[in-house]
Every structure is written in C-alpha cells, then in structure tokens.
Amino acid sequence: REPLWLGYDTTPLDGFREVGLEDLSWFQHMTVFGTTGKGKSTMLNIFMNQIARKGYGFVFIDPKGDTVDDLITQLPDHRMDDIVWIEPGSEDFEQVAGINFLDPGATETQKEFDREVESIIDDLRAVLRGGEYWGPKMEGITMNIARAMISSRRQFTLVDMYYVLADNESRMKFANVVSQEGMDFIHEYTTKIAEMDEEEIDPVLRRIQDWVEDPISRGIVAHRKGTINISDAVEEGKIILVRNTLRSEEIRKVVSTGIMRRVWATIRKREKMEEADREPFFAIMDEFDDIASENMSLDKMLSKARSGKMSVTTCLQNPSQLREFAPQTLKQLFGNVNTMFSFGVKEAEDARLIAKRFDDD
C-alpha cells in the first residue's frame, strides 16, 4: 500500500524528500504533540483526507469542532454518502450518539457476555466516580443493580436505574424481576438493596440524577437502543465524525469513551474474521487531553489493534498534564505508540517528557 503522506523535508544531503507513514506503521499508532496554533489539527486534516481518498473508514473525535467543520468541506464527493455525523446536544442535527450504558450488545458466548458486562460496569463506575463524593457503599449498590439490569432479558437504561432506586416499592419490584428471571447470583443483593433505607440510597440517587435530569446527558445515556450502530459503521468502512463540543467535560469524556469502546468492541471481534477481510480502520482523536480517561482501556486498544487492523492517532497539548490526571493513559500511550511527532510545546516539563520518550527510541 502507498504510504499516508504527512509532509516533506529538505536536507542538504537528500534534497527534497517526502515524509510518509508506511502501512506497516499504521497499526503501531501515532501521536502528535504541540501547543495551540502549531498545526496539529491541520496535519490531522491532511491525514484524514488521504485516508478518505484511499477509501478506508475512520472515526474522528473533535472536542473543539473547528477541525471537523473544515474536514467536512474537503472530503471527496465520492465519500459523502459514507459520512456518519454525530453531534450530541446539537439543535441543528437530530443525530445524537445514543449510548445505552446498560446494553451489552450482541454477544455469542457466555464468556463474551460476561466480559461485556464487566466492561460496562467499569465504564459506569468511572462515570459515576467523577465529581462528587462517591463511596464504596454507593458503588456497591449501583454496580449490583447495574449488573442485574445488564444481565436481564429486558432492556434497561440509566434512567430506569434512577426510577428503580427512587423508592422502596420499585426496588422491591425490581428484586422480584431479578428473581423471576432466575438471576440467582444477584437476587440476594437486590433484595438487600430493596430493604435499605432512603438515607443509604439518597447519595446514589443524587449522583444518577445529575445524568438523568440534564436534557443533554439524558439524551445521550437514556436510549434503549443506541440510535447509531457504531459497530456496523466500522465494518462498513464509514467515516464517523464526532463533533463533541458539549460544555460539560464529564459528558464529553463519556461520549468519547462510549464511542471508542464500541469501536474497539467491533475491532476485537475481528479475531474471528479472515485476516484478508480485515479492512484498515483509523481512530483519530484531536485534543486528546480533553477526552482522555483512564477508562478508555487505551492499552488494550493500542496493543491489540494491530491484529484487528485499527490505527489510533491522538493529538496532545500537554502530556505533563495528562500525567497528572490520567497517569496510566500517558504510560500506555508512550508504551504503545511507535510514531511520534512534536511541534513546539509551551511547558518545559512537556518538552522534557517528549524528549525523554524520543530518547528511549
């Protein structure tokens, strides 16, 4: 395959030289550093235009919105029908990223199902932990109810969780559903939760309330069936553009993580596919500092993406800040990404971090 061209270089020795990313390097990922205004997004734009022109699919998550707005005016005509536009909270577009946190999706084996349940529980835990105080007892209540809801034959959402927890009677009713469906492994817990008094449940309710009462977050997390099938879009080689400019940082992270988790789940299933049928797919995240969360399971994604033919590109302004709030994510990024670019950075600490990483190679 032809490389993806990134720019050119002139040296006294070689003269003019085009710089490209060879296909062998695609699936060993790329990271671009640089402070605002240095040209990161412009470089991503060029990169994505080439991916599009080669006919591949990709997902692009843009927390600022400017890059995706530019990109859409430049993509070739023959790819226009492949575009899936996701803009949560937008008044102009009805497309929202419908994410039902409690939907395990299609799984084939019990083992796969269990793995999916645990990964949803991890997601949910990370979402609810953010912000206010979140103690082990609250976590115990939420995670057990969630496990029962995900495992149930019925389709529950986070909004249902709110109403189930809201009073004694509905908690009891839910414990009965669990028992009727024969979910013995969890029935004891749900009965115990049903018998708790309001004082114990209230903090959990208040936390979920934040999600359920805000119209934007409710629109995102409350879909019984996701409105966009990301899995199909990935396998059909679509161009998934996510204009993720919501005001709440927490929700921005949840949207990014939710989408990436689904992309990743699709790529993971490629194990069963003939190698020749695995079409390259690219995931590109601008302003990754803004959407990074320890919860994205970045290490699994990056280390196993090669066999699934997924290439991940991230843009970062302040790696040293990422080290503060998501140390694992930075480690995983540094450990699994083989191609790194750096434009100028602002903080000396960023320069040191990047220089050290370059030195390791």
Ligand X SMILES: Nc1ncnc2c1ncn2[C@@H]1O[C@H](COP(=O)(O)OP(=O)(O)O)[C@@H](O)[C@H]1O
- DSSP class of residue 54? T
- Which positions from 182 through 211 interact with Mg ion, judged by CB under 5 A? none
Residue closer to ligand X (CB basis): 39 or 203: 39
Choosing among Mg ion, ligand X, none, which partner's interface includes residue 140 (Cβ < 5 to 8 Å by kind)?
Answer: none
Does residue 36 belong to the site contacting ligand X (CB under 6 A)?
yes
Half-sphere exposure of 99 (CA within 13 A, CB side): 27
State which residue, 59 or 315, has the beta carbon closest to Mg ion: 315
218 interface partner picked from Mg ion, ligand X, none, CB below 5 to 8 A per type: none
**Partner whose binding site includes residue 39, from ligand X, Mg ion, none (CB under 5 to 8 Å by kind):** ligand X
Stretch of residues binding ligand X (CB under 6 A), selected from 35-43, 87-95, 305-313, 344-352: 35-43
300 binds, among Mg ion, ligand X, none (CB under 5 to 8 A by kind): none
By beta-carbon proximity to Mg ion, the closer residue of 32 and 164 is 32
37 contact, one of Mg ion, ligand X, none, CB 5-8 Å limit per kind: ligand X
Give the nearest distance from C-beta 41 to Mg ion in angstroms.
3
Grouping H, G, I as helix, E, B as strand and the rest as coil, residue 6 is strand
Q: Copy the structure tokens of residue 285.
A: 């995240």
Task: Check residue 3 and report its DSSP letter.
Answer: P
Among 12, 15, 37, 136, binds ligand X (CB under 6 A): 37
Judge contact between 157 and 221, C-beta under 8 A: yes
- DSSP letters, 103-146, are -----SSHHHHHHHHHHHHHHHHHHHHSSS---HHHHHHHHHHH
Type and span of the H or E element at 233: helix 230-235
Q: How far apart are CA 278 and CA 269, in angstroms?
A: 11
Q: Is 40 in the site for ligand X (CB under 6 A)?
A: yes
CB 150 within 8 A of CB 104: yes
Rg of the Cα trace of the chain? 22
Residue 41 or residue 295: which is nearer to Mg ion going by CB? 41
Does residue number 63 form part of the binding site for ligand X (CB under 6 A)? Answer: no
Q: Does 31 bind ligand X (CB under 6 A)?
A: no
d(CA 245, CA 247): 6
- Options 26, 29, 41, 51; binder of ligand X; rule CB under 6 A: 41
Should residue 314 be labelled a site residue for Mg ion when binding is judged by CB under 5 A? Answer: no
Pick between residue 222 and residue 315 the one whose CB is nearest to Mg ion: 315
* Binder among 26, 29, 34, 41 for Mg ion (CB under 5 A): 41
| E strand residue ranges, the chain | 4-11, 15-21, 30-33, 57-62, 83-86, 239-243, 281-285, 310-316, 339-342
Nearest distance from C-beta of residue 7 to ligand X, angstroms: 7
Which is closer to ligand X, CB of 47 or CB of 162? 47
The nearer residue to ligand X, 38 or 218, going by C-beta atoms, is: 38
Instruction: Work out whether 215 is an interface residue with ligand X (CB under 6 A).
Output: no
Rounded CA-CA distance 60/85 in Å is: 10
Interacting span for Mg ion (CB under 5 A) from 34-42, 122-130, 144-152, 261-269: 34-42
Cβ distance to ligand X smaller for residue 209 or 245 = 245
Measured CA to CA, the distance from residue 25 to residue 306 in angstroms comes to 9
- 61-to-65, 157, 166, 188, 355 alpha-carbon distances in Å: 9, 25, 35, 42, 27
Residue 5, strand partner residues? 20
Q: Is 10 one of the binding residues for ligand X (CB under 6 A)?
A: no
- Check binding of 317 to Mg ion (CB under 5 A): no
Nearer Cβ to ligand X (71/149): 71
Can you give the binding site for ligand X, defined by CB under 6 A?
A: 34, 36-42
Can you give the binding site for Mg ion, defined by CB under 5 A?
A: 41
